[in-house]
Amino acid sequence: MSTLNLGILAHVDAGKTSLTERLLFNAGVIDEIGSVDAGSTQTDTLALERQRGITIKSAVVSFAIGDVTVNLIDTPGHPDFIAEVERVLNVLDGAVLVISAVEGVQAQTRVLMRTLQRLGLPTLVFVNKIDRSGAQYDGVLRGIADRLTPALVPMGSVRDLGTREAGFARFGAADAAHRTALAEVLADHDDALLAVYVDDETAVPYRRLSRALGAQVGKAQVHPVFFGSASTGAGVEALTAGISDLLPAADGNPDGPVAGTVFKVERGPAGEKIAYVRMLSGTVRVRDRLQFGQSGEGKVTAISVFDRGSDVRGTAVAAGQIGKLWGLADIQIGDALGASRPASRSSRYFAPPTLETVVVPSRRSDKGTLHAALAQLTEQDPLINLRQDDIRQEVFVSLYGEVQKEVIQATLANDYAIDVTFRESTTIYIERTAGTGADFELIDADSNPFNATIGLRIEPAPVGSGVEFRLEVELGSMPFAFFKAVEETVHEALQQGLYGWQVTDCTVTMTHSGYWPRQSAMHAGFDPSMSSTAGDFRNLTPLILMSALKQAGSTVFEPVHRFQLEIPADTLGPISPVLVRVRAVPQTTALRGSSYLLEGEIPAAMVHELQQQLPAVTRGEGVLESGFDHYQPVRGVLPTRPRSDHNPLDRKEYLLRLKRRVAGHQGW
């Protein structure tokens, strides 16, 4: 059997978890369809998910369509949990994007579709809830064409729209209008088909159109649109056939070199770490020693593979499959598997969190336990980005929104018996280098108390590139461990720039290096005052790097959201001064019936204030949706964040704090 790894993606409340239930029911995997509201679905297994009726963690279930095993991954729809969606995209062969027939295309739908297109993932569209009052057919198709992609192909018609009797009938070869529309869309990407179609619209056989549709869907050039209802089952059989016929199965050689990617990590009942892996090549077996990440290695002690429902214990997981691995204690989300450890399709598809907050335990005695608990939650969601301020004895976490904060609070209470409160969320800014700067210190200089020579140059890099470390010195000029110490410390030190924010999108080049080999006085043991250690390089690097950054200068950037605001038409006047106060810039304003739809940009720091003022000026009828779009330079007073390190920007303070560690060196 072939395998298809399929993602179900949607804006919150579009019905993707209900669609998952219906697909499992139709495939015979479950005997009864669960309810999101009742908390009885197969994929929302966390108690918190059942309580809130939303998906928080991605979940994998499996079913068969003919001779195809489908590993279906249900993903969160709420934007606060977009990181879960991001990790799933690494392992998909195709996707179904679910849209509500009532609400149509929504803000998160657009974010998801843009990402799917950027990745070139084959995608079918399922318009759900055709049985609900207010459901649309033509209106939704116009919305998809205008706001998602014009390369869409309606796959059937709907009858009794907006009623419980609503149904979906798939188009066939006899539907002349469908043949014409299909040929026109496909001809945009097929010159041979275009030539035949231009000569004679009726000369293209339907079988050729069907083959061309499958080929172009596989290349993510066109997107078939199905209509139906997960609640009643209408249209789901047609969607199932489309999944089998139009989406490409997984490829990969089970006999090739081992390669895969980890997209989820969880803890078992005994606290053991369990890694969810999509195999790209080769086969992993129980008791295999497996390389992962940068330098990790471990022995696989158990394996389970998804098959017709949940996972079942097995002895191996092969190319194309999704499995769970036990025994790899140090494995992390995003780790690549195998000796070659290939990079994933992209390191980042969505923006990082733009908010952070301080987590405060209600009982002071829980401080140590809280840090350990948050460290475990960070294993499951690295973008929580646990940050410890040892100076102020505070613990920070990064967030996408207030709902995520509530979920973290409930998880700590339910799973770890730790009651916490949060300080008010604040915006996370970033810094980018404004120019180029460089500095170096030599090992035998009186002013250098460390047994290390280091030279570093920092310069701007393309937006979105992160931090890259390069060498302009020979790799063999000193022990590799010393180069590694410098590289790791560079990344660590750039978490706090000139204004206290993370510095990104830059290249740091090591221009000078030098060390003293291991030595000792006559007839004595090892003497660290005469020999270089990795600690010397770790301690000196922040001083050199921050000096270079001072020369280069840095610019503080603030996150900007793209917003969509729907308001009653008669409230456009009252809302306008509010938008000015929160620095929102409407770029389009469209009258739709009795409402105005405004789209534009707003600083992330002002979104919460707009949300608070909106009900009063729109009689409670205004609806705001927003999501990260880009960063822009901060104008006016630059925001700063207190440093949580030894402050290498102040050399005297930095060296005094390190004095106990390097006592005995010269230069004090």
List, for residues 234-265, the tens digit of each pLDDT value. 999 999 999 999 999 888 889 999 999 888 88
Nearest CA to 473 among 481, 464, 465, 483? 483
- Are 466 and 552 spatial neighbours (Cβ–Cβ below 8 Å)? no
For the purposes of burial, counting CB atoms within 10 Å of the CB of 661, is it exposed (0-12), middle (13-18) or buried (19 or more)?
exposed
- The residue behind tokens 């590799």 is 480
551 or 410: which leads in pLDDT: 551
pLDDT at 203: 63
Q: Where are the alpha helices (DSSP H) in 13-81?
A: 16-26, 47-52
518 or 608: which leads in pLDDT: 608
> b/e string for 15-54 if b means 16 or more Cβ within 10 A?
bbbbbbbbbbbbbebbeebbebeebebbbbebebbbebeb
Provide the token pair at 41. Answer: 């679905």
The C-alpha R_g of the chain, in whole angstroms, comes to: 28
- Are 83 and 381 spatial neighbours (Cβ–Cβ below 8 Å)? yes
484 or 75: which leads in pLDDT: 484
Lowest mean pLDDT among 103-112, 165-174, 636-645: 103-112
Evaluated on CA atoms 292, 294, 297, 302, the torsion sign reads negative
| % of the chain at pLDDT higher than 90 | 50
43 or 361: which leads in pLDDT: 361
Alpha-carbon span 531 to 527, nearest angstrom: 6
Alpha-carbon span 665 to 452, nearest angstrom: 12
Beta bridge partners of 565: 598, 624
DSSP 571: G
pLDDT at 346: 42
Q: 3-state class of 2 per DSSP?
A: strand
- Are 159 and 169 spatial neighbours (Cβ–Cβ below 8 Å)? yes
CA distances, 101 to each of 105, 109, 547, 591, 595 (Å): 9, 13, 57, 20, 19
Helix axes 402-416, 367-380, angle to 10 degrees: 120
Q: What is the largest CA-CA distance in the chain?
A: 97
Q: Where are the domains of the chain?
A: 2-171+222-246, 259-337, 355-428, 431-552+644-658, 558-633
Alpha-carbon span 504 to 497, nearest angstrom: 9
- The residue behind tokens 């937006």 is 463
Phi then psi dihedrals of residue 90, to 5 deg: -65, -20
pLDDT at 205: 82
List, for residues 575-590, the tens digit of each pLDDT value. 999 999 999 999 999 8
Most confident of 275-279, 454-458, 531-535: 454-458
Nearest CA to 629 among 120, 110, 148? 110
Residues in Cβ contact with 472 at an 8 Å cutoff, skipping those fewer than 6 apart: 457, 509, 510, 511
DSSP 477: G
Alpha-carbon span 64 to 307, nearest angstrom: 8
Tally the C-alpha atoms within 13 A of residue 334's C-alpha that lie toward its C-beta: 15
Confidence of residue 79 (pLDDT cuts 50, 70, 90): low
Confidence of residue 345 (pLDDT cuts 50, 70, 90): very low
CATH fold label, 558-633 = Alpha-Beta Plaits (3.30.70)
pLDDT at 350: 57
- Are 95 and 122 spatial neighbours (Cβ–Cβ below 8 Å)? yes
Beta bridge partners of 359: 395, 422
- Are 539 and 667 spatial neighbours (Cβ–Cβ below 8 Å)? no
Cα–chain center distance at 455: 35
List, for residues 18-36, the tens digit of each pLDDT value. 898 899 889 888 878 766 5
Alpha-carbon span 14 to 445, nearest angstrom: 66
User: At the fourth CATH level, which superfamily is domain 355-428?
Assistant: Elongation Factor G (Translational Gtpase), domain 3 (3.30.70.870)
Confidence of residue 424 (pLDDT cuts 50, 70, 90): confident
CATH for 259-337 is: 2.40.30.10
Confidence of residue 668 (pLDDT cuts 50, 70, 90): very low
For the purposes of burial, counting CB atoms within 10 Å of the CB of 357, is it exposed (0-12), middle (13-18) or buried (19 or more)?
buried
| DSSP code per residue over 302-317 | EEEEE-SBSEEEESEE
584 or 405: which leads in pLDDT: 584
Evaluated on CA atoms 405, 408, 413, 419, the torsion sign reads negative
Lowest mean pLDDT among 77-86, 221-230, 388-397: 77-86
Nearest CA to 274 among 319, 322, 343? 322
CA distances, 22 to each of 236, 322, 480, 538 (Å): 8, 22, 55, 56
User: Please, what CATH class does the domain formed by 2-171+222-246 belong to?
Assistant: alpha beta
Beta bridge partners of 124: 96
| DSSP code per residue over 318-339 | ETT-EEEEES-TT--TT-EESS
Nearest CA to 126 among 36, 248, 209, 11? 11
pLDDT at 55: 52
> b/e string for 207-236 if b means 16 or more Cβ within 10 A?
ebbeebbbbbbbebbbbbbbbbbbbbebbb
H/E stretch holding 482 reads helix 480-493
CA distances, 253 to each of 3, 321, 601, 608, 629 (Å): 13, 11, 46, 50, 39
Alpha-carbon span 435 to 437, nearest angstrom: 7
Q: 3-state class of 476 per DSSP?
A: helix
Tally the C-alpha atoms within 13 A of residue 224's C-alpha that lie toward its C-beta: 32
Q: How far apart are the first and last CA of the chain?
A: 71
pLDDT at 59: 77
pLDDT at 666: 43
Q: Which CATH architecture has domain 431-552+644-658?
A: 2-Layer Sandwich (3.30)
List, for residues 371-398, the tens digit of each pLDDT value. 889 988 887 777 778 888 877 788 999 8
pLDDT at 343: 45
Evaluated on CA atoms 251, 254, 257, 259, the torsion sign reads positive
**Do the strands 223-227 and 123-128 form a parallel or antiparallel pair, or are they unpaired?**
parallel
Confidence of residue 149 (pLDDT cuts 50, 70, 90): very high
Alpha-carbon span 560 to 601, nearest angstrom: 7
Alpha-carbon span 75 to 149, nearest angstrom: 22
pLDDT at 333: 83
Task: Tell me, yes or no, if the two domains 259-337 and 558-633 fold the same way.
Answer: no
CA distances, 284 to each of 93, 207, 254, 295, 519 (Å): 20, 41, 9, 18, 45
Q: 3-state class of 290 per DSSP?
A: strand
pLDDT at 192: 78
pLDDT at 269: 84
Residues in Cβ contact with 116 at an 8 Å cutoff, skipping those fewer than 6 apart: 9, 89, 95, 97, 123, 220
H/E stretch holding 207 reads helix 206-218
